[in-house]
Amino acid sequence: MSTPEYDLAILGAGASGLIAADFSVQLGARTALIDKGPIGGDCTWSGCVPSKSLIKVASVAHDARTAARYGIGVSTPTTDMTEVRAYLRATIQQIYEPTMPEALRKKGMDVLIGAARFLDPHSLEVGTERIRARKVLINTGAEPRTPAITGLANVPYMTYQQIFENDRLPQHLLVVGGGPIGCEIAQAYRRLGSEVTVIAEHLLPAEEPEVQELLSRIFAQEGIERIAARAKIVCREGEAITVETLAGKATGDLLFIATGRAPLVRNLGLEATNVRYTGRGIEVNKFLQTAAGHIYAAGDVIGGQQFSHLAGWQGFQAVRNALLPGNNAGTTAAMPHITFTSPEIAQIGLTEGKARAMFKSHDLLIKSFDINKVDRAVNEDDRLGLIKIVARSNGFILGASIVGERAGETITEIAIAMRNKLKLADLAATVHPYPTYSTGVQLLATKMAVEHAFSGTSGRLLRGLSALWR
């Protein structure tokens, strides 16, 4: 029996693999999409889709519980986690259906279900099958990172891979980890009715300090407890689980571990190739090409930032580089990310600290204002938040942070501006519909552009010209 030959074999059918395979087929390449199953990866089954669906359920409970402040009377909400789980499963299924193997095969690709392993640089074993490929793209994703906590192996706990199948509302949820996943789950379960304690040195440590402080205030207002220290010891007595730190301890009945994700490079047979990798992921150049030359890698498996939209974008770029002349970079400064707490937290580009480390102070324009200056936020009772822009003195935008209920949508305007090298004045001069959250970006950009224009010599000249014209 002959061995099937492909122009491109794609390992992993998550966000990166699905977009990559779609593009490869459009280019006319014979394409094999390989995944151990199910198709969709973490994003569909244990990441973006179920987490945002859970956040929706939690926001409904929170709105009902706080309705009286707006003059609306409702009964106290109760949470049925079996019904919540059913809702999450339904949303997952709806989003999964267009990516089922049968649907993908209709597009012209071969879909192989099974664990893949390299036999040599161009040969792969998939289950009991063997294939060959001229080019290969690895986007096998990542898995939960297990922290070094004494006693953890002897205590039941959940990670993001299990939490969305949970059918019991805990009395007290313990969350170890203050990153996006930990913060989203902590707030969602608190709004569903659980007591919640977060054990983490920092909340969203990659964000601006004022953003971290805002989130701490919001969590405190909602009754989320926090121990600002690392978990050292975990123990169990009956149904009770206790997490101990140097700053104190907390006891609950469900433990959620959210301490990051590790690239999935195990059992791929990379030793049979020239691909270099470490525990931090597969090593690639700026064009997403490995040392093997014909093998590319994209998404979470190469380490760095782990976002579905970044993985999908990199998957597209990797296929473009593998199957077309020339090369596109696999990284960009205009890459936004969002934590879907309430309010949402969005960030793109450089923070103030990183900008100050790279540029001289006189070459920077940095300004922020409270979300209460945005009329739509006032309408929405969105009281805690901010918009902050970091720019060069020439008006080019280096980064931004937004905290608000529509932050995820609003940051897109900054992303487009950065991608197309627009300046603060361009944002200021663009008419924005009122009342929207995006007017906050226009207001801040206008303030920054005008203040800079009226500073120093240029300001004196402008005022002089105005006096002469009058």
Q: Are β-strands 5-11 and 364-370 bridged in parallel, bridged antiparallel, or unpaired?
A: unpaired
- pLDDT of the residue at 454: 78
Q: What is the DSSP letter of 27?
A: T
Residue 460 in this model has a pLDDT that exceeds 70:
no
Cα separation of 408 and 417, whole Å? 15
Cα separation of 182 and 186, whole Å? 6
Write down the residue that tokens 């205030």 correspond to.
217
Cα separation of 48 and 54, whole Å? 10
- pLDDT of the residue at 451: 87
Residue 373 to residues 154, 385, 386, 412, 425: CA-CA distances in angstroms?
51, 10, 9, 20, 20
What's the mean per-residue pLDDT of the chain?
95
Residue 1 to residues 32, 77, 122, 129, 224: CA-CA distances in angstroms?
18, 62, 18, 11, 61
- pLDDT of the residue at 291: 97
Q: Are β-strands 110-113 and 31-35 bridged in parallel, bridged antiparallel, or unpaired?
A: parallel
With contact defined as beta carbons under 8 Å apart, do 347 and 336 qualify? yes
Residue 57 φ/ψ, nearest 5 degrees: -60, -45
With contact defined as beta carbons under 8 Å apart, do 252 and 225 qualify? no
- pLDDT of the residue at 307: 92
Cα separation of 319 and 313, whole Å? 10
Could you tell me the sign of the dihedral formed by the alpha carbons of 408, 411, 413, 415, in that order?
negative
Q: Which two tokens stand for residue 226?
A: 């926090």
- pLDDT of the residue at 462: 56
Residue 465 in this model has a pLDDT that exceeds 80:
no
Please compute the mean of the pLDDT values over residues 32-52 and round it to a whole number.
Answer: 95
With contact defined as beta carbons under 8 Å apart, do 258 and 278 qualify? no
Terminal-residue alpha carbon distance, the chain: 89
Give residue-wise pLDDT tens across range 280-318. 999 999 999 999 999 999 999 999 889 999 999 999 999
Give residue-wise pLDDT tens across range 157-206. 999 999 999 999 999 999 999 999 999 999 999 999 999 999 999 999 99
Whole-structure pTM value: 0.94
With contact defined as beta carbons under 8 Å apart, do 299 and 16 qualify? yes
Residue 201 to residues 259, 441, 455: CA-CA distances in angstroms?
12, 31, 41
Q: Which residues pair with 250 in a beta bridge?
A: 243
